[in-house]
Each structure stands twice: as structure tokens, then as C-alpha cells.
């Protein structure tokens, strides 16, 4: 697998990339590869031809050499334009000025598991978040596995690369955002938490959680009450629970 390149694999992620490309008038797909089997699939070939996307026929083994054997590719693989995968924070802040209701950003604090990152992205879209913020360093970026796990939902929500997390949070505080950190030992239970203002939800690293300096930046440290038999929820599941609650309180968004 070429780690310097990002590939999309699978039919649904391809659909989402094509939709985003048309919606935003952007250049996402650099090259498309299909196996002979996928080329004979009426749904796939109709999608490709109706959007006038050229492709190259390759073997499944060739796709695996690009994307990695661990990713289910369904005979579909696309090399992506890396720059198209990320958005600018100032652009997003300007864009949400016209939004009705309270905006929501989900900030990832050095998550390592691409499956967690992909699942969080998918949940963020499902429950109406406005952007995913992720640091450039010590954080899993948008990868082939992330895209596949997210079912291509990374194309449906801005993914913003940020520098220093605490500097970013300080900037968002100045923009009237309230910062909510998800912590197992948080002093505010989720069912008692009010999401009634512009919100940043901070998700900490698997195992160790939110770093201390970042946790100190949080206005609220929220926890999820669970059955004592269950020690904790993993990062993506816990995030989905909080996003569901946020959505319930902001159903007009």
C-alpha cells in the first residue's frame, strides 16, 4: 500500500465523492480504477458513465496493492486529490454565520484508530454536526480505512485540519462557542447537560482521554452514565450517544 496517497474504496464512498464533487464543483477524484467484475455491474458503470468519469480496468490484486488488503474494495478504487479532503476553519466559521440554530463542531484530540475516526465522522453527519476538527499531528487523518468506515460521509461534512488544539479552542471561545469535553469521570452527566449555544465537542484519545491542558480549556466535562457492569464505551460509541442528545436538544437545526 502506498502510504503517501489516499484511496477511496467501495461503491458507496464513490457515490458520495461524486456527489460532493458535483455539489461543490470541486476536484476530488484523480483516477478511478475498476475491476472487470465491477465494470459489468450496471449500478456502478451507470454512476461512472453518467458523470463522465474515465477509469482504468485493473485486477483486484492491483487494487489491494494500492489500498491495502484490509479494506473491502468491491472492485472500486479511486486515487483522491488530498487537498480536496480538508477545509479551512475561517471559511467554515464564515459559512455558519448564515446558519439557523446552534452550530456544532466535533474536535478529535489525537485519536489513533481509523475505525473510530470513520465512525465518528459518520455519526457527526447523521446527527447534524457542522464540521470535524482534527490536529495535523499525532492524529489519524482521512485515510482509506477512515473513508471506508465512514461510508464516504467524510465528503458530506467539512474536515478541518488545525494546528494547536488549545489555540483553536481559544479562538472558538472568542466566537462564543462553549467547549464540552467528553470524559469518563466528567462532573456533568450527559442527561443534565444543556446544549443551547454554539458547541465544540472534544473527543479524547482512546485509552488516555483528553489531554490535561485541553481538558482545562473545556467549559463542561461531561460523562455518560452506564451500567456498572460496563466499564466504559469506546470513543466512537460515546460520541454517537452525545451527538444524539445534542440533536434532541437542537432538533430545529
Domains in the chain, start-ordered, CATH in brackets? 7-85 (3.30.1330.30), 89-249 (3.40.1280.10)
pTM of this structure: 0.92
Strands (E), the chain: 7-9, 29-34, 56-57, 76-80, 104-108, 131-135, 159-162, 178-182, 188-189, 199-203, 220-223
Q: How many helices (H) and strands (E) does the chain have?
A: 10, 11
Tell me how far apart the alpha carbons of residues 199 and 182 are, in angstroms, rounded to a whole number.
13
To which H or E segment does residue 121 belong? helix 114-126
Cα-Cα-Cα-Cα torsion 221, 225, 226, 231, nearest 10 degrees, comes to 40
Is the Cβ–Cβ distance between 182 and 233 less than 8 Å?
no
Q: What is the pLDDT along the chain (253 residues), one digit of tens a residue?
A: 445 789 999 999 999 999 999 998 889 999 999 999 999 999 999 999 999 999 999 999 999 999 887 778 889 999 999 999 999 999 999 999 988 899 999 999 999 999 999 999 999 999 999 999 999 999 999 999 999 999 999 999 999 999 999 999 999 999 999 999 999 788 889 999 999 999 999 999 988 899 999 999 999 999 998 888 887 789 999 999 999 999 999 987 6
Dmax (CA) of the chain:
56
Amino acid at each position: 500500500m502506498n502510504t503517501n496517497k489516499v484511496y477511496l474504496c467501495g461503491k458507496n464512498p464513490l457515490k458520495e465523492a461524486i456527489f460532493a464533487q458535483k455539489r461543490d464543483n470541486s476536484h476530488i477524484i484523480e483516477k478511478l480504477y475498476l475491476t472487470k467484475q465491477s465494470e459489468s455491474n450496471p449500478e456502478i458503470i451507470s454512476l461512472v458513465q453518467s458523470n463522465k468519469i474515465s477509469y482504468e480496468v485493473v485486477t483486484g490484486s492491483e487494487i489491494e496493492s494500492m489500498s491495502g488488503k484490509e479494506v473491502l474494495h468491491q472492485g472500486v478504487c479511486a486515487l483522491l486529490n488530498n487537498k480536496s479532503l480538508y477545509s479551512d476553519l475561517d471559511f467554515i466559521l464564515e459559512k455558519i454565520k448564515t446558519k439557523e440554530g446552534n452550530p456544532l463542531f466535533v474536535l478529535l484530540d489525537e485519536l489513533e484508530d481509523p475505525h473510530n475516526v470513520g465512525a465518528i465522522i459518520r455519526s457527526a453527519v447523521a446527527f447534524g454536526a457542522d464540521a470535524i476538527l482534527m490536529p495535523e499531528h499525532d492524529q489519524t487523518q482521512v485515510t482509506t480505512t477512515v473513508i471506508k468506515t465512514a461510508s464516504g460521509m467524510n465528503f458530506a461534512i467539512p474536515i478541518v485540519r488545525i494546528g494547536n488544539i488549545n489555540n483553536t479552542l481559544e479562538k472558538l471561545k472568542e466566537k462564543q462557542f462553549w467547549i464540552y469535553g467528553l470524559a469518563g469521570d466528567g462532573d456533568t452527566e450527559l442527561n443534565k447537560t444543556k446544549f443551547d449555544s454554539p458547541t465544540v465537542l472534544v473527543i479524547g484519545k482512546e485509552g488516555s482521554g483528553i489531554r490535561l491542558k485541553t481538558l482545562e480549556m473545556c467549559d463542561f466535562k461531561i460523562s455518560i452514565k452506564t451500567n456498572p457492569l460496563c466499564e466504559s464505551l469506546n470513543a466512537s460509541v460515546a460520541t454517537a450517544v452525545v451527538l444524539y442528545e445534542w440533536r434532541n436538544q437542537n432538533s430545529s437545526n
